[in-house]
Amino acid sequence: MEDFIAGLHDRLDRGVLTRRRFCETITLAAGFYAVGGAASDAEPAQGFRIIGINHISYACADYRKARDFYASVLGMEAAPHSDNGRQASLMFGPPAGQGGSFLIPRNGRITTNAKARIDHICYTVSNSDEREVRAALTAKGLAPAARDGNLHVYDPFDFEVALAASGSGEDHGAPLKAALVNAISYTCTDVGRTADWYSKIFNLQQIKVREGEVALPFGKPGEQPMGVVAKGVPMPRLMIRTQADRGETAHAAKALVNHIAYMIAGFEKERVRAELKRLGYPNPLQDGEHSFHVVDPNGFDVQISGLQMTALGG
């Protein structure tokens, strides 16, 4: 905890972190450490234990533009034989099946009936120096803006992408490369109800960041994200916010994250099916041998998958 706070002070002194964001992050971290002692490595009696992001499904008008942007800017790699002329699976982080994730840009409609949206995604990048991250983005013709302690850019479809430098203190001069999902920003009108649902399904602790914003980290203090050996890489988290809290951006996204697939520990198809039934989903949509789809209270598609599902087939 002391090292974490010292790092925040350094970022505040360098002007990377605003004072307001500094205070909010301290509040979040204090809450995170306060609840950590109650966490257990055992499988939960109810719901599931989330261990990471399996994949992010990203719909747009031309998947090739998105594919090339994320490969060029964030070093994501196309999975072999995954590009079928309509979509591609881009790998990043640890190897597939060992905690790694996929971004799947695909041609598809960008409207939804869900009463919630993913308004941006933040990635932890391998380089630990934010000045070098900014320089790398600028060299690629982007105009990074500093906000809430991270750098923000827009992809070819005006979808907002945030980049958080790793806290490892290593990899100075390393190429810009996505190491992990840092945070998913999910906006809706009823934060409390939504946060309660994700807490119940995935056994996530809720940490109030400020009015209208709740953080749900995917693990307990001191844990390393699955498959990550570098120190200082934070656990992914779901940030649930009110739409009014975030406000309207000048960029109207012409792309849509239409579902997120969450990895859970110990996926066993019939046990997962039975637990979903107990949780109020008697007929979840099965997607292969290692995955089910349900919808959250806002009608947003949530996929629950095991490590065996690598998304290589889309």
Whether 59 shows a pLDDT value over 90: the answer reads yes
Average pLDDT of span 245-274: 86
CATH code, 272? 3.10.180.10
Q: Looking at per-residue confidence, does 175 or 14 come out higher?
A: 175
Judged on CB neighbours under 10 Å (0-12, 13-18, 19+), 39 is middle
What tokens appear for 126 in the block? 């391998």
pLDDT digits over 129-147, tens only?
888 999 999 999 999 998 8
Q: Which two tokens stand for residue 260?
A: 């997120």
In a domain, 312, yes or no: no
| Average per-residue pLDDT for the chain | 84
Residue 170 to residues 126, 154, 274, 277, Cα–Cα distance (Å): 8, 26, 45, 46
**CA terminus-to-terminus distance, the chain:** 39
Residue 311 lies in a domain: no
Domain that holds residue 127: 2-305
Average pLDDT over residues 257-268: 96
Structure pTM?
Answer: 0.84
DSSP track, 48-60: --EEEEEEEEEEE
- Amino acid sitting at position 29: A
Confidence (pLDDT) at 130: 85
Q: What per-residue confidence (pLDDT) applies to 278?
A: 96
Contact predicate 260/57, CB 8 Å:
yes
Mean per-residue pLDDT, 214-236: 85
User: Is the Cα dihedral 242, 245, 246, 248 positive or negative?
Assistant: positive
Q: How large is the average pLDDT for residues 164-193?
A: 84
Using pLDDT thresholds of 50, 70 and 90, give the confidence band for residue 170.
low
- Encoding tokens for residue 182? 């840092």
- What integer is the mean pLDDT of 238-267? 84
Structure tokens at 228: 């990550």
| pLDDT for residue 34 | 40
Mean pLDDT of 36-44: 46
Tokens representing 229?
A: 């050996």
Q: How far apart are CA 218 and CA 49, in angstroms?
A: 9
Between CA 48 and CA 166 the distance in angstroms is 28
Angle between helix 2-13 and 19-36 (nearest 10): 170
Tell me which of 3-7, 51-55, 158-162, 275-279 is least confident: 3-7
Phi, psi of 286 (to 5 degrees): -80, 135
The total number of structural domains that make up the chain: 1
Q: Which of 1-15, 58-72, 150-164, 218-232 has the lowest mean pLDDT?
A: 1-15
Question: Is residue 168 situated within a structural domain?
Answer: yes
Amino acid 154: pLDDT: 97
Q: What's the burial of 97, exposed, middle or buried (CB within 10 Å: 0-12/13-18/19+)?
A: middle
- What is the rounded CA–CA span in Å between residue 167 and residue 275? 37
Supply the pLDDT for residue 129: 84
